[in-house]
Structures are given as structure tokens and as C-alpha cells.
Chain A
């Protein structure tokens, strides 16, 4: 338990408040002795404004709006900005149970127009609830929003509620890209469940036509006071107007780095290390005999995959570098990929941690994501540290990342959209490669075990996380080791 600082001495005419260290996150905060909330300090978060942001997509159907919405939402949530997407198409599907044909979208179909407007308003209502009542920071309003009139409605709505608005428009006239989009995500949509491919494609093309005539793209002149990014031809060109704040700047940077070229990302840990065998965490040991076996097996696996232009990344710790060396190909070392720093617990066994720091051990089980080792790091810190790696992974094509358990969990959580609660318990076993291939709106995962034995290093959350628990209860889930 960390001790409070010494007396509150008066110096000059200012009173220095006492500081206490929050036991979970090891953050120094003024102690609220007079019951006042600690409104004066805040830990650096991405979104420092109190003003929530409403991101509004704009574009004809099959221009990647939903792809962008989902991907952006996933990224923002991963960097700890509570974000949610609101897809108006889904509201429409709730409302109109059965989709008949493109005629629903014809501009003169009054019934259709009425329903679509209602759906938009229902979605906006949920947006308001998310941003105002549920602690949301960013809402992504995913719809065509192709008319100025519709966009003005949204702007008024945002003004009334104190939200900032940022438009993301996708403009594309490449018929190949559009065709590919339709194949990847439209054919499988609930709307076309009863159609064959040709029918679906034909109908969808007519649907796009319904919007084309009334489409008013964002305009450099007419919309010069709005904040927006126009993405042209899947990222060939961007027009960025009036970025207002940090979060918008980050969003723009992210959007400018993503691409849709097919590729695969391979994630794995280093081969089994000497410290792994002894059940010790952290440290910088070398590979065990089995670890070296794995490195060889990894080499064979990579060769069998016949990957074009594979980039290989490692951390700066011996065990990942040794693993990469066995591949016989060029690789890059990233310090940012180093394993989580366990601070005073480095190189200890779980049993020793329980013995020396029982309270820390319990706190960690209570909130493994936010828990920071004394003089070490938390998963939350890891995510911040790894963000540039993710950004570069987005830019790259085929990449193999040889890293560590906690690091791999963070990266995996990003690709598979896992929450902060799930992240620290994702299973990332030694000697197994995860192959991630972006597909439709998500990521396909293939788990390839390279058939070289290794210890298990995964510790599940025990049922009793109370500080008062018995050592046996704390150590219940510790994996076997020598």
C-alpha cells in the first residue's frame, strides 16, 4: 500500500494538496480529503474535450462507408475512445422486415422516403443517448447522407446537443472497386438472402442509381466551413477541410494510412524461452531447446506459405530476435514491441508475486487491463505504446510480427475488436501462429499450431479476486512449470 505524502505545507500563498497513489493504476492523484472530486487533474487521454464528436459518413452505396465506419470505430475503441457506429440501413431493416427491391429507394417513393427519414431520426436519437447519457465520446452515423438537406438536419441536431461534426465522404467511380464491394459485402446482406448473384447485383446497381441524381458531394466552396475529409478513389487522394481538434487529426491520420489491398498479417510469440520453462515472467532470456525447434518450424511454415514481400518485425528482446534469426530473412526490431514491463515483479514466478506482493496480485486480477505493475506498465500503457505499430501495420501489406504474450494480446484485440475486459485473457499460446486476413468488415483468423511442445503461460482469472483471499485461491489458475 503506498503511503500518502508528507504534510500539506503552505508555501507562499498556495497550499499543496496531499497526493496519494491510486493502487491499481499507480497514478498520483490529490487525495479528496474534503470530498471534492478530482476535477483538476486528468490522465492524458486521446479525447480531452468534453465535447463529443459526431462522425457522419457521406457517399453513394458501395463506396466503403460501412467498412470505414466499422474500422474507424474499432480503432478508436482500441485507443480508449468510447465509440459506436449507428448504421441507418440496419434501422431500416428493423423497420421494413422484408426487402423487396430497389424500388424502395426510388426518389419518388413517398412511403419509402418517410420510412427512411424516420429511421435516420431514430438513429440520431440513439446517437444522442450514447453521447450524452452513456459516456460515449464518438458516434459514427453511417448512412449515405448524400443531400445537403440531410446533412443540414444533422448539423442542426449536433448544434442543439453540443456535438462537434466531422464528415467522412467516400467518392469513387472505379467500376472494379464498386463491383468488388458489392460482391464482398452486399451479396451476403440480409436484403439479398433470397436472390441469386446476378439478381442481387442488378438490383443493387439500380439502387445506386436512385441516389445518383440527388447526390450533392461535399464542396470546397459551399461547404468550406464544415470539417471534413473527402476520400477519393480508395485513398488515392484526400481533401481535408478545417480539422478542429486532436481527435479529428488522429482520425484523418488513420484514414490516410489504411488501405484495402489484400494481404495477411501473421502474429506469433517468440519460441519458448528459458524463463518460460521456469514459470517466470518477463526478463530477457534466450530460447530453450524447444524454442529453437519452433524457430526452425516457423521458418518452414513461412516458406510453405509462399508470401510475397513479407516484412518481419521483432521486439528488441533476445528471444524474439533469436526466433527471427532462424528465418534467414531481413527483419526489423521495434522497441515498442517489447513485452510488458512487470516492474518489481520482473523475473518472478507467480508464486513469488503472491508471496511478496499479495495485494498487487489481487489488484491485478480485479482489473487486469488497467492494473500497472509497480514501476512497470499496464495493458493500457501497452496499447498506447503499440499504437504506432498498429498504424504501420495498417500501411504495410504482408507482415509477420514475432512478439510476446501481452503484446500479442493487444494487437489481436485491435484486429478482432476485443474489449478491454477480454484483451488480457486472450489465448496466445507459444508455438502457434495466428494468420489474420481482412475480409468483408472484419478479419478472418486461422490458428496454426506448429507442433512443437511448449509450456503453457496462460493464467486465467481466478474466481476469488479479493485481497483477503487465501494464497491457494490466488494460485489456483497458475499454469504448470518446472
Chain B
């Protein structure tokens, strides 16, 4: 580091010096957090998969490589055709054996993910309703040095359960040949098969030394036992803030600004004439939506506030929603930047997510800055967020589970509202253009750009990755068969450039994956 003081102030040197610095700090610091295995617990239709997937999406977005391992999916691979609930009877010996094998196969993949594939958190999504099964998992965790954290969902409200069954069970592959009533009926009997042997987590005696959170009645109450570290604390906080009330989230940018028209980055200019027209159109749109209790949020930049003003409703300003700080490049056009800071310009195209403007911010910084907004959005119901291009891309990446690599290239055009409605395990998106012309501010990923080295992940600097697709296992004959990982065509199309750090380690078609 002595060399850091002696070198000149050339931006590029500093950039790579800091890069090296960070790399060396990272090596010195070592692994910041332990590998964690989250274990879901609960009867069917209690929201375990919903929680697993949502939590995984959140953790990946804040930069913690996380993956879900859903045992039900392993079972569907192993037993191609589901006949009826009898499969789940505890006296059905063949079935019990298969289910056990599936759990073990999933755990094997968990181990692989956490030890070989640089995963940090694995979510083991299954009922795990017996002490026997959980003890087995605890042993597995102890053998491999994984921290174990249980998330149990307890709910006895028949309405909630019926609703769950309708939303996600009736349409699942198991029931594709059934009508709704039969499916509902069969599933309820399936639940009964588990209920008889269900041993909930017992905080007073048997499980008092385990780390877990019991989510009761969809978040009405929580019992939290022995949180061990930072990641468990964040998980608990997240789980306590999410809800399942139906609602919609509207994301849009401010109306076209004067700087937009000049092709300039950043700044704090006001709306152009067309921008003001958009604001008026937005007001009409909001009225038409006829929403109950809409919260409107803006940044603290003039263009976003002016847009909100046209709505004539109360709104809240968040500094955290301000556009990405382009530092020395503020208010320049892209041509200016290319001329004055050619190296910076090239660096940004190499790795737009990690690239930090000189004296400014990166998308990675933005994610950290915007996280409290996401947390509050989870708490809220109907919200309209009037923000900026880079910020909107960050928010969108969270809701639509986009990776760090995709995020800076998400299309967020001016004068278009995205309406997001949570549905089943994901989010429905409707894109509504309000038919007011505007300049296009989107810059696509340049074609022949050589991918730069990926900068090491620092904790508290975040790196979203797409929640990886669940592993589809080939049908197993026996437990001792080696699992051959084949990349099916289906997997290839799913494998976007986002999987650079993780997926491509196992994906042979590496070079052709870059879009």
C-alpha cells in the first residue's frame, strides 16, 4: 500500500489500486459470514415455498448468493406421475423411501452449492415436520460446518389455507389432470397425512438450543430463538416486514426533464413541456386506477417532485430515491464523457453494475442505498414510486429477480408506468405507456465489449444475483447412483449472462451465454 501514496492521481490507477486493495482486504478479512442452511418447517400450504422464494430473491438482491432446494421438485422428477394423496401416507413404505431419497439428494446438492459453487445461503424447502428429519439435517449441518436456521410457518386459519391451495397448489403439475374441487380435496387429505406426525418446533424443551423463527398466522406473531449472526438478524427483520395483502406497486420515472432533452446525465433540472404533460397524464392514470390509500413517494430531485405535484395528493420525499450520482460526469452528455474520460467510459461498459463514477456511485452502491426503500415497500400496500432510471432499474431487479448483470440494462423508458402485482410466487408486470412522447435515455449493452474481471464481493457492498433456477434432477434409480449433471436445452435458455459467477462454473456453454 506504500505504492498507493506515491502514485499519481490518475483515476484509472486509483481504480485498479482500490480494486487490488479491496481484493487484498477481502483476502485478509476472510469469509465474513458463515455458510447458512435455512430449513423450512411446516404443514403443506403454509407458505413455505412462498417464503423460501421471496427470501431468496431478497438475499440475492442484497448480494448474498442464495438458492432454494425444493424437495417437492425432486420428488416430481423421481416419481413422474402423481396419482393421489396416498403417496404421502406414512405407512406407504415405498413412497417413504422415495421421499427420503429425494431429501438426501437435495441435501447433497445443498452441500455442493455451499462448498463448491460459492453459495452462501441454501434454503431447504420441505415440510421437515418430524424431529427425526430435523435431527438428520442438524447432523448434516454439523458435519459440514453450516449454520442452521429454521423458519417454521404455523397457521390454522382455514381461509388462509384454502386460499393458498387455490393460488399455488391447484395449478401445480401434480394436479394438471384434475379439476379444482378434486385437487382441493386431494390436497386437504395430503395435509392430513402430515398432520398426524407433525412435531412443531418446541422452544421450551426439545428445540430450545436451535436457532429459529416461528411465523404464526401469516405474521401476526413471531417467536424468535437464538439469533446467531448478522444474516439471521436480517432474515428475521425481513420476514417480520413482509405481508400477503393484495396490493399493487407502481413504478415510473419523473416526466421528461430538460437535461433529458439535452442528452445529459444527472443534474437537478425541471420538467420539459412534455414532461409536464406526462405529469398530468399520470394524475389521470392514478385517478382511473381508483386505489385505496395510495402512498406516493418521490426522490428529492426537482423533476421527480414536480411530477408528483401534478397528482395533487400528499407525497413523501426520499433522499434514498435520488438518481445515481455520476460524480465528475454529472450533467455531461455521453459524448462528453467519452471525450473527457475515455477510460472511465470503457470501464463502465465493461462492468456497468460494479462500475463507480469517479467521486460518484455505482449500481452496487445504489442497491445498498435503496434497500430501506424496499423494506418499507414490503410493509406498505399500494405505492407509487416516482423515481429515476438507475433507481428504477434497481427496484425492478428486486421485484422481478433480475441479476446484477441484467440490472443496468433493464428497460425503463420515460413516460411509462410499470404496475407490479404480486401473484403466486412472483410478480405480474403490466407496462402502461401514457402516450406522451419523450426522448429515449436507454443505452444498450455494447456488442463487442470484453467482460472485465469480476470484482470480489465485499460484505455491505451488495451484488444481486438472480435466484438460480432450482436444480432439475434426473430420475434416480438408487441413492448410490452418481448424479450426472447434464445441461439440457431448457437449462441453456434459462442460463442468462447473469450466471457469470455461479451458473457458468457448471455451465459448459460459457462463452455463448453472453448476450
Contact = CB atoms under 8 A, between A and B. Distances in A.
Contacts of B32: 332
B196 interface: no
Given A16-B309, A220-B221, A321 B21 contact: yes
A249 B309 contact: no
A408 interface: no
B29 to A, nearest CB: 4
A40 B25 contact: no
A12 B280 contact: yes
Given A330-B25, A330-B28, A333-B22, A322 B1 contact: yes
B379 A12 contact: no
A44 B318 contact: yes
A318 B301 CA distance: 30
A39 interface: yes
Contacts of A236: 225-226
A246 B380 CA distance: 9
B379 A249 contact: yes
A332 B308 CA distance: 40
B362 to A, nearest CB: 9
Interface in A9-43: 9, 11-14, 16-17, 19, 21, 26-28, 30, 39-43
A222 interface: no
A5 interface: yes
Interface string B221-252: 11111110010010011001100000000000
B368 interface: yes
A252 interface: yes
Q: Most A CB atoms within 10 A — which of B28, B237, B306, B319?
A: B319
Interface in B201-234: 203, 220-227, 230, 233
Contacts of B300: 26-28, 43
A352 interface: no
A203 interface: no
Contacts of B22: 333
A12 B376 CA distance: 33
Contact of A395 (B233, B283, B379): B233
A30 B309 contact: yes
Interface string B305-347: 1101111111111111000000000100000000000000000
B1 A325 contact: yes
B131 interface: no
Interface in A379-428: 381, 384, 388, 392, 395
Interface residues of A, number: 61
A77 B273 CA distance: 43
A19 B22 CA distance: 43
Given A241-B221, A330-B28, A12 B236 contact: no
Contacts of B276: 9, 11, 16
Interface in B3-23: 4-5, 18, 21-22
Nearest to A240: B222
B116 interface: no
B317 A43 contact: yes
B30 interface: yes
Contacts of A43: 300, 316-317
B221 A240 contact: yes
A249 B241 contact: yes
Nearest to B376: A246
B293 to A, nearest CB: 13
Contacts of A335: 365, 368, 460-461
A344 B362 CA distance: 20
A336 B461 CA distance: 10
Interface in A226-285: 236-243, 246, 249, 252-253, 256-257, 284
B319 A381 contact: yes
A41 B368 contact: no
Most chain A CB neighbours (cut-off 10 Å) among B5, B284, B313 = B5
A21 B320 CA distance: 18
Interface residues of B, number: 66
A48 interface: yes
Contact of A322 (B5, B241, B314, B359): B5
A350 interface: no
A48 B227 CA distance: 29
Nearest to B362: A335
A173 interface: no
A441 interface: no
A81 to B, nearest CB: 15
Contacts of A321: 1, 21, 25
A9 to B, nearest CB: 6
A198 interface: no
Nearest to A346: B359
B221 A239 contact: yes
Interface in B35-91: none
B503 to A, nearest CB: 28
A41 B307 CA distance: 13
A40 B315 contact: yes
Nearest to B28: A330
A250 to B, nearest CB: 9
B468 interface: no
A136 B315 CA distance: 23
Contacts of A42: 314, 316-317
A163 to B, nearest CB: 21
Interface centre among A9, A284, A287, A333 (most CB of B within 10 A): A333
Contact of A48 (B313, B316, B365): B316
Contacts of A316: 18
A388 B62 CA distance: 14
A125 to B, nearest CB: 33
A191 to B, nearest CB: 35
Given A14-B310, A19-B309, A249-B379, A331 B29 contact: yes
Contacts of B313: 40
Contacts of B25: 321, 330-333
Interface string A276-300: 0000000010110000000000000
B309 A286 contact: no
Contacts of A220: 221
Given A13-B280, A332-B460, A28 B302 contact: yes
B283 A14 contact: yes
Contacts of B253: none
Given A14-B312, A246-B376, A335-B461, A237 B277 contact: no
Nearest to A26: B300
A249 B4 CA distance: 44
A11 B226 contact: no
A309 interface: no
Given A40-B314, A48-B316, A239 B376 contact: no
Given A28-B302, A41-B317, A237-B203, A392 B230 contact: yes
Contacts of B458: 332-333
A332 to B, nearest CB: 6
Contact of B316 (A41, A325, A375): A41
B315 A252 contact: no
A174 interface: no
A331 B18 CA distance: 14
Given A9-B273, A14-B279, A333-B458, 20 more contacts: A11-B279, A12-B277, A14-B280, A14-B310, A19-B270, A19-B306, A28-B305, A39-B314, A238-B225, A242-B220, A246-B376, A246-B379, A249-B379, A256-B227, A316-B18, A330-B28, A331-B29, A332-B29, A333-B25, A375-B330
23 contacts: A9-B276, A11-B279, A11-B310, A14-B279, A14-B311, A16-B279, A16-B310, A28-B305, A30-B309, A41-B305, A41-B317, A43-B317, A44-B297, A44-B316, A44-B319, A241-B220, A246-B379, A253-B240, A321-B1, A325-B1, A330-B28, A333-B461, A375-B268
Interface of B: 1, 4-5, 18, 21-22, 25, 28-30, 32, 203, 220-227, 230, 233, 236-237, 240-241, 268, 270-271, 273, 276-277, 279-281, 283-284, 297, 300-302, 305-306, 308-320, 330, 359, 365, 368, 376, 379, 458-461
Going nearest first, the 4 A-B pairs with the smallest beta carbon separation are A12-B280, A11-B280, A330-B28, A286-B5
